[in-house]
Structures are given as C-alpha cells and as structure tokens.
Amino acid sequence: MTERNLVLLGPPGAGKGTQAERLVGDFDLPYYSTGIILREAVEQDTELGTQAKEYMDRGDLVPDELICNVIAERFDSGEADYGFLLDGFPRTVGQAEMLAGALEKRERSLTAALLIEAPDEEVVRRLSGRRTCVKNNHVYHVEFDPPKSEDVCDQDGSRLVQRDDDQPETVRKRLSVYHEQTAPLIDWYSEKGLLRRFDGTRTPEEVHSHIRATLATLALEAEI
Ligand SMILES: [Zn+2]
C-alpha cells in the first residue's frame, strides 16, 4: 500500500480545515495539527510532553526541534504507517528541513505538500464576514450564511459579534505574517518537486476532487 505522507499549507480562511477533515475521512489518516498533538503529548504525560509543558507554562514558544520530536514520536506509534496529514508544521524552511530529516531517519519521505491558495482580499472577505454568537459560539457569515434576523443567533437568540481574530485589520496582519514565513517554504517545496497547488476560491467539493485526483496520480507514479 502506498504511503500518503502529507503536509497542508495555505493562508487562514482558504478552507484547509474543511479539506483536512475530508482527507482524514477518505484515507483514514491521522491528523497532526501542532496545537492538538502538543496538547495530547502533555495530557498523556510523555517525556516530550513534559518538556513541552515547561515551555508552555512559562508562556514561551515550544522549540522547533521539540515539536518535530513530538510529531516523530507519533510516526513511531504505528498509527501513521500508511501516512499522515500535518497542519501547522512546518511553517518555516528550518522546520521543513527538520521534518525531512526525521522522515529520512525512518526511511520515509514526504509524498506532497498541498497548498490551498486564496487571494488576500478573498480571505479578508471570508473571515471578516464571520459573526459568532456570544452564548455558544455558533458561527454565521453576513454574506454566505446570514442569520434570520441581523446580529441575532437563530439557535439561542443571543447576540452575534465579530471576534477580534476576524477584524479585517487583524486578518490582514495574520496574512502578512503568513506570507513572510510561508513564501520561502513554498519555494523550498517547489524546488524539491513536492508542491501541489489548489485553488481555494473553488467550491470545497471541487478542491476536494482536485486533491483526490492529484493524490491518485502520485500513488500511480510511486508504483511505477
Ligand atoms: Zn448561538
């Protein structure tokens, strides 16, 4: 059976989360988002988890190498023998090199880096249109999924607000950080022939079938 060792890249609001859910369902892949697996390592009290907790308790960033080791620990657990989907790591070229090294040590390699792209203005439109209810965090969109009456939650009648994270200025700031960090990473994966681009402005169904077709082609190539 072919391995599907995948990294997911793309700006916030491009639909990565939706595609991740579908891919995980399609191929039964373990999904490794940095936040989730660090939290799990801490909860399970692994040695690396304990080290990571010390940084987190101090409010410090967990060092790249430690994050990579936590991920590699999951590679060795048996659950990722046929592949995995990484989201949020790597974010920089340094992290990508570390990941490549960890895989190489295990005589494995990345299958592809899947980049879901969307223009900045589209991301701003998607994210800044979101409204969240104050009571239960139900999410609406002023344009794509409006509530029946303005600024009121259909489900519990509570007030809808724009989260700080979704303010246009905040979104633009997040995007500029994303571009600064990720542009070199995209070039790096592109030079290695691992980058596959997808148009995040298409419908989730279209993006999903494009990704599936791409993965099927890669699997065929791997068997030749
Ligand atoms: Zn609500």
Q: Which helix (H) or strand (E) holds 116?
A: strand 112-117
Task: Reply yes or no: is the peptide bond before residue 90 cis, omega within 30 of 0.
Answer: yes
Which comes out higher in pLDDT, residue 37 or 6?
Answer: 6
The residues near 26 (Cβ < 8 Å, ≥ 6 apart) are 212
- How far apart, in Å, are the Cα atoms of 62 and each of 10, 42, 74, 117? 22, 12, 17, 28
- For residue 93, is pLDDT > 90? yes
**∠ CA 200-202-204, rounded to 5°:** 80
Spacing, Cα 199 to ligand 1 middle (Å): 31
Spacing, Cα 217 to ligand 1 middle (Å): 43
**pLDDT category, 11, cuts 50, 70, 90?**
very high
**pLDDT category, 221, cuts 50, 70, 90?**
confident
**pLDDT category, 35, cuts 50, 70, 90?**
confident
- The SS3 of residue 159 is strand
Residue numbers annotated as active site = 16, 91, 130, 163, 174
* Residues near ligand 1 ion, CB 5 Å cutoff: 133, 136, 138, 153, 155-156
- The average pLDDT across 66-70 equals 94
pLDDT at position 179: 94
Query: Residue 158 carries which side chain, given as an amino acid letter?
Result: S
Spacing, Cα 175 to ligand 1 middle (Å): 28
- Long-range CB contacts (within 8 A, 24+) of 133-138: 133/158, 133/159, 133/160, 133/161, 134/158, 134/159, 134/160, 134/161
pLDDT at position 1: 64
Tens of pLDDT, residue by residue over 110-167, are: 999 999 999 999 999 999 999 999 999 999 999 999 999 999 999 999 999 999 989 9
Spacing, Cα 142 to ligand 1 middle (Å): 15
d(C-alpha 30, C-alpha 208), whole Å: 18
Q: How many CA atoms lie within 13 A of 21 on its CB side?
A: 5
Read off φ and ψ for residue 192, nearest 5 degrees.
-80, 0
Spacing, Cα 138 to ligand 1 middle (Å): 4
Spacing, Cα 179 to ligand 1 middle (Å): 33
pLDDT at position 212: 97
pLDDT at position 222: 84
d(C-alpha 7, C-alpha 18), whole Å: 15
Tens of pLDDT, residue by residue over 151-207, are: 999 999 999 999 998 999 999 999 999 999 999 999 999 999 999 999 999 999 999
pLDDT at position 224: 74
Question: Burial level of 100, CB count in 10 A (0-12/13-18/19+)?
Answer: middle
The CA-based diameter of the chain, rounded to the nearest angstrom, is 58
Nearest Cα to 34, choosing from 15, 59, 61?
61
d(C-alpha 80, C-alpha 178), whole Å: 28
- The average pLDDT across 31-38 equals 90
Percentage above 70 pLDDT, the chain = 100
pLDDT at position 223: 82
Spacing, Cα 36 to ligand 1 middle (Å): 25
Spacing, Cα 49 to ligand 1 middle (Å): 35
**∠ CA 180-40-38, rounded to 5°:** 25
**pLDDT category, 2, cuts 50, 70, 90?**
confident
Spacing, Cα 145 to ligand 1 middle (Å): 14
* Mean pLDDT, all residues of the chain: 94
